[in-house]
Amino acid sequence: MHKALERQLIRCYGSLQNVPEEQRVFLEQVNKTYTESDQEYSLMERALDISSKELTEANVLLREEKKEIEKKVKDRTKELSQEKSKLNRIAQNMNTGAILFNKNGQVTFINNKAREIIKFDDMDDSLVLEKLFNKFEGFPVEEYLERCMAGETLKIPEAEVSHLIFELLFQSLLISDGEDPTSFGHLIWIRDITEEKLLDRSKSELVAIASHQLRTPLTVTKGNVEMLLDESFGKLNDEQREVLAQTAESNENLISLVNQMLDITKIEKGNLYLNLKAVSLDVILEKIVDDLSVYAKTHNVLLKFDKPKVMPKVLADNDRLYQVFQNLIENAIQYCHNDKDGVCPVNISVGLNPDKINIKISDLGIGIPKQEQEKIFGMFYRASNAVNLISSRTGLGLYIVKSIVELFGGTIRFESEENNGTTFYIELPVVK
C-alpha cells in the first residue's frame, strides 16, 4: 500500500487491522490506482530524464558543430578577402586599363593604368565617364558603352590620341548558373598599343617601299622576256625557248607576289581604293571563265558557269570583283585532282534573293583538312596537302579576297572535306 495512505489509516484506526472490510476493499482499489499511476509517473519521469539527457548531449553537439561552422566561415571569409585583395592588387597594377561599371552604368572600379591613361587622379568615381569621353573625343566611346550595356561586345581597334594609339574593348560580364547567362556589369579595357602599331606601320611601310621598288625592274624583265620569246631579236632554239618560258613564269609569280603585298599594305592601312559602281557580275564571271579556259584545260578541269536568266547588279569595284573571283576559280582549278575519270569539274552557280546574290564555286579537288580550316583565311597560310601539291604559291590570296568581299559589305565562307572537294559561298548585296 502507498506509504502516505498507510500513515493516514494508522492515524485514524490505530492499526491497519482495525480498518473496516468495505473501506479496506475500497482503499485497496484506490491504492492499486495510486501505485499504477505512480509507476506510470516514474516511467514518465525516467523518459523525461532520458530525453533531457539526450537534449543536453544534442545541444553540446550542436554547439560544437556551430563552432566548427563558424570557424569554417571565418577561414573562408579570410581566404576570400585575401583572394579579393590579391585580385584587386593584380587588377590595380595591370598594364591594361580597366574600368568596371555596374548594371546601371555607374563606375564601380578603375585601376591605376586606366587612371593614368585618362589622366584621372580624383577620388570621385562619378567623374570617370566625363574624363573618359573627353580623352577619346571623336571616337564612339559613349555609343559603344550604351550598346555594350545592351549586350554587345565591341572594339575600337585604333584610337589615336596625342601621339599614342589605344585599343578599347567593351565587354559584358556574364554569369550563368545553369540558366541563360545574365550580365552583372560591364568592363572597358584600354590597351596602349602604340609600340606594336608603330612597328606594324614601319613593317608595312618597308614592304610597300620594297614592293614599289621591285615593280619597275620586274615589269622591265617581263617586257624583255616577252620580246625575246616573240623572237624580236632573232630565232630561238627549243632550249632557249624553254629557259625563257621558265623565266617568264617565275617573273609572273614575283609580280603577283609584289601586287599581293601592295594590296595587303593598302588593306591594313585602310586605303585600298575602291571605285564602287553597279557592276554586272555575270559579265565578270563569264570573262573569268573565258580567260581561265586554257589554264583549266592544262589541268584537265571542266569549268561550268550556270548563268541565271535575270541577274541584278552588285555594288562593287569592277577590277577588285574580277580579282576576287579569279582567285577563287584559279584555286578551284589548281587544287583539283583528276585521278578518277580524267576530268575534274568546277561549277560556278548563282542564287538570288531580294537583297543578296549568292555565288557558289565548287570543286571536287583535294579539299582542306578539317583541323586546318579555321586558319585558311589567315595571311601566308597554306594547308599541308596544298603545299605538297604546289610549292610556288603564297597563301595570301584568300586573305585579300576576304578583305575585299567584306569591304563590299559581303561575306565569304566555305565547306570542305579532304579529298572530297571544296565549295566557297560568297554573298554580295545587290544594288536596289
Q: What residue ranges bind ligand ADP (CB under 6 A)?
A: 327, 331-332, 335, 363, 365-368, 376, 382-383, 386, 393-398, 422
> Shortest gap between Cβ of 373 and ligand ADP (angstroms)?
9
Task: Tell me the backbone φ, ψ of residue 337, rounded to 5 degrees.
Answer: -130, 135
CB closer to ligand ADP out of 265 and 327: 327
Tell me how long the chain is: 432
> Shortest gap between Cβ of 263 and ligand ADP (angstroms)?
12
CB closer to ligand ADP out of 323 and 331: 331
> Shortest gap between Cβ of 136 and ligand ADP (angstroms)?
36
User: What does the alpha-carbon distance between residue 69 and residue 243 come to, in Å, rounded to a whole number?
Assistant: 88
> Shortest gap between Cβ of 268 and ligand ADP (angstroms)?
16
Please choose, from the candidates 344, 358, 346, 353, the residue with its C-alpha nearest in 3D space to the C-alpha of residue 405. Answer: 358
CB closer to ligand ADP out of 387 and 431: 387
CA of residue 223 relative to chain centroid, distance: 49
> Shortest gap between Cβ of 162 and ligand ADP (angstroms)?
39
CB closer to ligand ADP out of 129 and 368: 368
> Shortest gap between Cβ of 368 and ligand ADP (angstroms)?
5
Q: Which three cell numbers stand for residue 339?
A: 585521278
β-strands 182-192, 164-175 pairing? antiparallel
- Kindly state the helix (H) or strand (E) to which residue 108 belongs, with its residue range: strand 107-110
- Kindly state the helix (H) or strand (E) to which residue 295 belongs, with its residue range: helix 293-298
Q: Which three cell numbers stand for residue 2?
A: 502507498
DSSP 422: E
Please check whether residue 114 is in contact with residue 129, taking contact to mean a CB–CB distance below 8 angstroms: no
CB closer to ligand ADP out of 9 and 398: 398
User: What does the alpha-carbon distance between residue 13 and residue 19 come to, in Å, rounded to a whole number?
Assistant: 6
CB closer to ligand ADP out of 60 and 387: 387
Please choose, from the candidates 190, 217, 57, 204, the residue with its C-alpha nearest in 3D space to the C-alpha of residue 114. Answer: 190
> Shortest gap between Cβ of 328 and ligand ADP (angstroms)?
7
DSSP 286: H
- Kindly state the helix (H) or strand (E) to which residue 361 belongs, with its residue range: strand 356-363
Number of H helices, E strands in the chain: 12, 12
CB closer to ligand ADP out of 141 and 412: 412
Q: Which residue is nearest to ligand ADP (CB)?
A: 397
Whether the CA torsion 359, 363, 369, 372 is positive or negative: it is negative
CB closer to ligand ADP out of 369 and 429: 369
> Shortest gap between Cβ of 378 and ligand ADP (angstroms)?
9
